[in-house]
Amino acid sequence: MNLKLPAPVSFAAGLAPALAAGWLLFPRLLYEEVPQPLPFSHEAHAEAAGTTCDGCHALGPDGRFAGVPRVEACAGCHAEKGGSPGVDALVEGYVTPGREVPWLFAARQPDNVFFPHAPHLALAKLECARCHGPQGKSAEARPFARNRISGESRDVWGPSIVRRKANAWDGMKMADCIRCHREAGRESACLDCHK
């Protein structure tokens, strides 16, 4: 039997799967996963080493955020091999030769953006998790999702194309920064965030 559908129906029947394929495939094609250089566990360090966030990520006396500790700070506890493959890789690849670990930061913004932690922590008293989610408690370093076109982290865009947020911390685009500033009653000038 030769079933002939009216044109709009067959058009819709073709369009729906095409859209669905694009919707599901596009993000996979757009982002590549880049592994972190070492298997770092935040959980292990909070539990086994009892180090708090400040112990590794503090605001310095000049108000600048220290970021991630340099490898000499890790060497205090990891000067020698033995323990786990992760520790061995750290000692062999970085501590002994005195090289910094090239971590990949999910939150890292494009170079033209100026983001200081100090006003957000010292003045606005925001929790790390408000912008970073539960990463500080994770058992594994997150793999880095790199946008193949811009080279930027997926977090700068947001996990979904439509930018529907499942969590407050999903995505940190310009609109997200400005929205929170407005909620706090602040109008920021372009040059506050772009230097």
88-107 residues in contact with ligand HEC (CB under 6 A) are 90, 101, 103, 105-107
Q: How far is the C-alpha of 100 from the C-alpha of 95, rounded, in Å? A: 8
Applying CB under 6 A, does 170 fall inside the site for ligand HEC?
A: no
Residue 39 in the binding site for ligand HEC (CB under 6 A)? yes
- Rounded to an integer, what distance in angstroms lies between the CA atom of residue 39 and that of residue 109? 23
Q: How far is the CB of 12 from ligand HEC (least distance, A)?
A: 33
- Please pick, from the candidates 27, 93, 116, 159, the single residue that binds ligand HEC as defined by CB under 6 A: 116
- Tell whether residue 55 is a contact of ligand HEC (CB under 6 A): yes
Closest contact distance (angstroms) between CB of 14 and ligand HEC is: 32
Judged by CB under 6 A, the chain residues 134 through 153 that form the site for ligand HEC are 135-137, 141
73 lies in the binding site for ligand HEC (CB under 6 A): yes
User: How many residues touch ligand HEC (CB under 6 A)?
Assistant: 72
Site for ligand HEC contains 79 (CB under 6 A): no
Q: Are 145 and 33 in contact (CB under 8 A)?
A: yes
30 binds ligand HEC (CB under 6 A): no
The C-alpha atoms of residue 65 and residue 80 are separated, in whole angstroms, by 29
166: Cβ contacts below 8 Å, ≥ 6 apart: 159
Of 88, 93, 94, 167, which is closest to residue 133 (Cα–Cα)?
167
State the burial class of residue 134 (Cβ atoms within 10 Å of its Cβ: 0-12, 13-18, 19+).
Answer: exposed
